[in-house]
Chain A
Amino acid sequence: MKTQMTGAEIVVQALKDQGVDTVFGYPGGAMLPIYDVIFQQNDIRHILVRHEQGAAHAAEGYARSTGKPGVVLVTSGPGATNTVTGLTDALLDSIPMVVLSAQVPTSMIGTDAFQEADTVGITRPCTKHNWLVKDTEELAHTVHKAFHVATTGRPGPVLVDIPKDVQFADGAYVPPNKAEIGHYSPRVKGDTDAITALVEMIEKAERPILYTGGGVINSGPAASMLLREFTNATNIPLTSTLMGLGAYPASGDHWLGMLGMHGTYESNMAMHDCDLMICVGARFDDRITGRLDAFSPGSTKVQIDIDPSSVNKVVEVDLPIIGDIGHVLETLLKIWKSRGRKVNSAAIDKWWGQINDWRAVNCLAYEQKGSIIKPQYALERLEALTKGRDRYVTTEVGQHQMWAAQFLGFDDPNRWMTSGGLGTMGYGLPASVGVQIAHPESLVINVAGEASFLMNMQEMGTAVQYRLPVKQFILNNERLGMVRQWQDLLHGSRHSHSWSESLPDFVKMAEAFGAKGIRCDDPTKLDDAIQEMLDYDGPVIFDCMVEKHENCFPMIPSGKAHNEMLMGDASTEGAIDTAGAVLV
């Protein structure tokens, strides 16, 4: 291989050497040199999206479903600014992503040139790190370093801004193993004394619980396997955040369901009453804790996380263990076994007795009666008709997202892609595109709300162009349902702008894009309609007309504690007091 190349060639060679097989992008003036090199090679597949936000979310879907970093190419100015939401989304959910943006030539930087934006300035707070490369000699080093940073420690999005003249100029190419990637290397091994202290706590605990999150999935499939082994061997009940679904199988005996604002009754009650909380790769988000001063008041809290800043941020923990989840769980299992595999079985059996009483409340119960489809029913049927299949699910944001988390079961990691931290409407469709690109033979479903779907609906064009058989399952309540629910709860049911007016005909929309459209509004015809969607070999928009005023329960209203949940039959009026009303 020649070592002198143009900057554009260096970029593409670096991507190849990083094992990149797919990039999501959109060209423009400042990006043309790199696009010209892309054109003249076949190793990297370029997926042309319809909007750069779509590229970023597609890359997130690709990354989340494969464990590999997602790669995005965008032009300067508006191309780069359109990735800001995706970058922020990836930052909050710790998704590895490398965005390569073009910049105006170095000589024009700072002159308000055409399509100039201060991209590194704009994206500094929404990336893990970013670089402006002003010298072609630095380019290979920087691109390799970008991959290193995106995938090492707590993963996250990075951005490399490349001026057009740097793409044209010649420079030396260095492969990944020769690149200067700097000193960034967070510790992965947990402290053995701390892990031993945790084992001692586990041996004595009477009411332990595992509270797991996206960190387990980020750590890789091995971490999920270790988590299963540990949970099953110790008989400790387990709950998970929205981001952690699938790390422990939903069909597993120890699974309590998701916790938090729309989590299950048994999860939240168990979190409240436990005496030992083992937080594994989660971060005590406000959607999880509810009211802080009433959050699990009697428990000893242990937190395993690779990021020291996640510890003691909102909740003080008694024992932090800093390290990679997989490494720590491996050591934990080893020490626990070497000390004789002890747990307080009698107490834990009693604890399970209590938990089973909570389970018996059947908190997700709803009634499908009459001629209108309940959203929960639609998801239950979708689950029944797709269970056991090689299935990936993405979602948009809103009530449908929470119902999907409640009613779909995930038995493996990397199968559930949702915007947790940022709550980005418009995430699900492009994410489903990215997932389907990575898994061409699998069933990929985006559970959507009609409002969220409209936010990035242009990506149906991408799905059709690349023959991606993504299934867009829209729970159409003709409402910004989650907003309407909050207005019921804290604004006297004054539904200010929470209607979806002038909705398009989604069946016709599908047809206009060259996809298939299906509409169903009859519970008795739902199974057949879903089957038709599954049987169709191509992209489908499924317009599932559902009950318009259904609210999502259980719910911990903001400002309330885990044991103050609202259940399905609750009155929502005035459920949140003034202190809670200021919260988001």
Chain B
Amino acid sequence: MNALNLKKGSTSHSAYNLRSLADTTIESHTLTIMVDNEAGVLARVIGLFAGRGYNIESLTVAEVDHEGKRSRITVVTTGTPAVIEQIKAQLGRLVPVYEVHDLTIEGASVERELALLKVTGTGEKRVEAMRIAEVFRARVVDSTLESFVFEITGAPKKIDAFTDLMRPLGLMDSARTGVAAISRGV
């Protein structure tokens, strides 16, 4: 009979956690949750994360089926594999939840985020911002003589990179939607 590998099944929030957590790897997972679009459903999901000490890196929610009153919540969360499994099980037993998918392990998926960035400046900096925006296929959605608002969509990493490049060029403000994700194929 095989011995129990406690680390694998352990969680980091147990009061009795006297185990070494040395080889506990933290992973990032993108979960999509189909829920009834009823009052308080988001509070329930967020409350679960807060109450059990799980992390939320990003969260988006919107109704995706008006007739069926269903919303899709996309959460990017981090934790050890055991914690991620617990998060999914805990989400799965909420009454308004239809299904929970872990896009990170369930085959290929696409992830997209939209950001709006306000960049101010004149002269060479303004020209350079415009040039980089073209490379990243960001669109100008508002402009004055001293400012642009760029709209960019892409994987979160692409938006991070664009944001980093805009910083020295006069980045004033930015707004991000958080990740929306969906599996590839059928």
Q: Chain A: residues with CB nearer than 8 A to chain B?
A: 120-121, 124-125, 128-130, 132, 149, 153-154, 182-184, 186, 275-276, 286, 289, 291-293, 295-301, 307-309, 311-318, 558-559, 579, 583-584
Contact = CB atoms under 8 A, between A and B. Distances in A.
Contacts of B43: 121, 124
Q: Which 10 A-B pairs have the closest CB atoms?
A: A316-B9, A309-B89, A129-B95, A308-B89, A286-B16, A300-B1, A312-B9, A309-B90, A275-B1, A293-B19
B18 A292 contact: yes
Interface string B75-105: 0000000100110011011111010000000
Given A124-B40, A291-B18, A314-B16, A183 B98 contact: yes
21 contacts: A124-B43, A129-B95, A132-B39, A154-B93, A183-B36, A186-B93, A276-B1, A286-B15, A289-B16, A292-B17, A293-B6, A296-B4, A297-B4, A307-B89, A309-B86, A309-B90, A309-B93, A315-B9, A316-B6, A316-B10, A559-B16
Contacts of A579: 18
B14 interface: yes
B100 to A, nearest CB: 10
A299 B93 contact: no
A120 B36 CA distance: 17
A583 B1 contact: no
A333 B2 CA distance: 25
Contacts of A584: 15
A160 to B, nearest CB: 13
A316 B82 contact: yes
A313 B86 contact: yes
B47 A182 contact: no
Interface residues of B, number: 34
A300 to B, nearest CB: 5
Main secondary structure of the interface of B (DSSP, over half): loop
Contact of A315 (B4, B15, B51, B95): B4
A313 B8 CA distance: 11
Contacts of A154: 93
Contacts of B96: 129, 182
Contacts of A318: 2, 4
Nearest to B44: A124
B96 to A, nearest CB: 8
Residue among A125, A291, A301 with the highest chain B CB neighbour number at 10 A: A125
Contact of B47 (A125, A132, A153, A314): A125
Nearest to A148: B95
B40 A291 contact: no
A336 B179 CA distance: 49
A43 B2 CA distance: 58
Given A292-B14, A293-B6, 16 more contacts: A124-B44, A128-B95, A154-B93, A182-B36, A292-B10, A292-B16, A293-B18, A293-B19, A307-B89, A307-B93, A309-B92, A313-B11, A313-B86, A315-B9, A316-B4, A318-B4
B25 to A, nearest CB: 16
Nearest to A134: B39
A583 B82 CA distance: 22
Interface in B1-55: 1-6, 8-11, 14-19, 36, 39-40, 43-44, 47, 51
Contacts of B17: 292
A81 B85 CA distance: 33
B19 to A, nearest CB: 5
